[in-house]
Amino acid sequence: MGEQHTVKFPQEVIDEYAAFGVDLPALFSAGHLGTRMGVQILEASAERVVGTMPVEGNTQPYGLLHGGASAVLAETLGSVGSMLHGGISKIAVGVDLNCTHHRGVRSGLVTGVATPVHRGRSTATYEIVISDEDGKRVCSARLTCLLRDVKQGDADQVPAAG
């Protein structure tokens, strides 16, 4: 669960980050929490981010997918989209997340698809639809991120290109 794999990024985005010595796949991974939860990002651009997460290991006491797990998947995908929209000079910080849970899931993988609702200079908002393996909507989420300028010291937190 949570092993690293290659995420599909647009070539121009890869080139932009590589010019600054940034390891884009490491930067836009699901992070430590996402890794523990088995989140995998399959596709990433400012226009669309797709990722999956197993239900197993992410359930509440009744054996259903935990709503907090859906929130982690939603915030991960929306944050990746926001970061890609903001570009190398911005850092995306989540400021509002809401999730509506429509149905329970007991097994398999859920897939989240994040698409932009608003992409501005200082904020980005993404709608994230999480579906089960049958394509039935499990959760509808919306994430707004503040896009703040990179500050000195932020570089210490960015994975360097190999």
Q: List Cβ neighbours of 105 (8 Å cut-off, separation of 6 or more).
A: 55, 64, 65, 132, 138
Catalytic annotation present for 43: no
**Hey, what amino acid is at 9?**
F
User: Distance of alpha carbon 76 from its chain centroid, rounded?
Assistant: 3
Residue 19 makes CB contacts below 8 A (sequence gap 6+) with none
The backbone torsions φ and ψ at residue 135, rounded to the nearest 5 degrees and listed phi first, read 80, 10
Query: Which residue among 3, 47, 75, 127 is the active-site one?
Result: 75
| 63 conformational bin, left if phi > 0, alpha if psi -120 to 50, beta if neither | left
Active site residues: 75
